[in-house]
Amino acid sequence: MKFEPRLYNPPWVNVLIPVAAVIFGLLAGGVLFAFLGVNPLKAYHEVLKGALGSSYGISEIVTKAIPLTLTALGGLICYKMLVWNIGGEGQLCLGAIATVAVVRYFPVDNWVVMFVMMFAAGAAAGGLWCMLAGVLKARWNVNETITTLMLNYIGINLSEYFIYGPWKDPMSMGFPFTPNFPDAARLWVFGNTRIHGGIFIALAIAVVFQIILKRSKWGYEISVIGENPRAARYAGIDISKNILLVTFIGGAVAGLAGMSEMAGLYGRMSRGFSMGYGYTGILVAWLARLSPIYVPLVAFLMGILLVGGDTLQVVMGLPLASLQILQGLILFSVLAAETLSRFKISVVHVEREKAASGGGEEA
């Protein structure tokens, strides 16, 4: 058996494959729940009930979809060029750190000025953090999967250093919090929900990325590099320059996820503020089949799983790790389905091939 590239995929295949992958992942998750002594149908029913059974649940889904959308978009633009940025978690943390630094050291009693400063700082911090891996790859071909993963741990621990150390609020009675943001440094919030203005940032970037990747010359260059780097070099495309660009932009978008969480949701930095959005964003990007316009929708669906997962812990007593395993099963299914959509499996008769090649040589 061997893999052979598919020359053409019907449009319906591109829709069917991710749907089938999710269904397979959920079925595998059902086996996991059964192994844990829980009825799979009841477990999934509780997930839907907890997430979609109330207006509060729906608002929480949207709240979680905002950072998921941004981290997924930050990874997506890199994946389109086959640059494997899995450092969204660390880039989110750096964006959060930069946002808190702006509020702490450069406070201005003007919402517009503060928003611009926080936006620029969060994007620059996340972008430069990711571009470290981009420089190593472009200059010395260092594996970016390893470097972005290692930078995650540095970013996460750096945020905890500031939370427990120099930025800790002296009025927090020992709890790991930074001081609250002033009103001028907060994004607007919708009514009594926790949905904040970061939703407009996420949706706007999704639209911009869709236009860039589908309509612009640079988007075409990204696609060419991702599909065939040798052809891109032959066409005169500067691959090193594009690696630096996509890593900076991808990291900047993930950094904006940290900014929006600080200024929109929490209003301060506390331990565990990310909840693994950078890692889950990888799954969102691939479920959306690297199409920016579908990322917000997939992020909303993933938000259902995250919010419903809280219900599983409370109502059915399942550990948080079971939800994370379920996410891993879905990601594994999606990646396997993606491979099968690009390649087909052919059965090869080895003896016939040898005979054919031998006959050719004799001739």
- Write out the DSSP string of 149-173: HHHHHHHHHHHHHHHHTTT--TTST
Question: Which residue reads 């640059």 in tokens?
Answer: 83
**Is the pLDDT confidence value at 356 over 70?**
no
Beta bridge partners of 4: 344
pTM, to two decimals: 0.90
Lowest-confidence region among 117-121, 209-213, 284-288, 353-357: 353-357
CA dist 286 and 298 (Å) reads 10
**Residue 213 confidence class, pLDDT cut points 50, 70, 90:** very high
More confident residue, 337 or 11: 337
Cα–Cα dist 295/254, whole Å: 14
- Return d(Cα 200, Cα 188) in angstroms, integer: 11
Q: Residue 283 corresponds to which tokens in the numbers above?
A: 């799954």
Let me know: does 82 contact 247? Beta carbons within 8 Å.
Answer: no
pLDDT digits (tens, 9 = 90+) for 214-261: 999 999 999 999 988 999 999 999 999 999 999 999 999 999 999 999
Q: Which of 271, 281, 274 is nearest to 302 (CA)?
A: 281
Closest of 263, 227, 225, 230 to residue 243, by C-alpha: 225
- What span, in angstroms and rounded, lies between the C-alpha atoms of 193 and 257? 19
Q: What's the rounded Cα separation, in Å, for the pair 163 and 206?
A: 31
The count of C-alpha atoms lying within 13 angstroms of the C-alpha of 177, restricted to the half-sphere facing its C-beta, is 13
pLDDT of residue 363: 44
Closest-CA residue to 175 (of 278, 61, 272): 272
Most confident region among 22-26, 192-196, 331-335 by mean pLDDT: 192-196
Count other Cβ atoms within 10 Å, centred on residue 115: 17
DSSP class per residue in 10-78: -HHHHHHHHHHHHHHHHHHHHHHHHHTT--HHHHHHHHHHHHHSSHHHHHHHHHHHHHHHHHHHHHHHH
Residue type, 258: G
Residue type, 225: I
Residue 289 and residue 76 in contact, taking contact as beta carbons nearer than 8 Å:
no
Task: Specify the pLDDT at position 262.
Answer: 97
Could you give the residue ranges of the DSSP H alpha helices within the chain? Answer: 11-35, 40-52, 55-79, 88-105, 111-140, 144-164, 198-215, 217-227, 229-234, 239-260, 277-287, 295-315, 320-342, 350-362
Q: How far apart are CA 9 and CA 235, in angstroms?
A: 26
- Name the percent of the chain lying above pLDDT 90: 69
Let me know: does 255 contact 94? Beta carbons within 8 Å: yes
Q: Tokens standing for 115?
A: 């928003």
- Examine the pLDDT at 165 and tell me if it is beyond 60: yes
Straight-line distance from the first to the last Cα atom of the chain, in angstroms, rounded to the nearest whole number: 27
Residue 360 has pLDDT above 60, yes or no: no
Tens of pLDDT, residues 264-309? 999 999 988 988 999 999 989 988 989 999 999 999 999 998 998 8
Burial class (CB in 10 A: 0-12, 13-18, 19+), 2: exposed
What single-letter DSSP state applies at residue 193? S
Write down the mean pLDDT value for the chain: 91
Give the distance from CA 59 to its chain's centroid: 20
Could you read off the pLDDT of 172-205 as tens digits, one per residue? 888 899 999 999 999 999 999 999 999 999 999 9
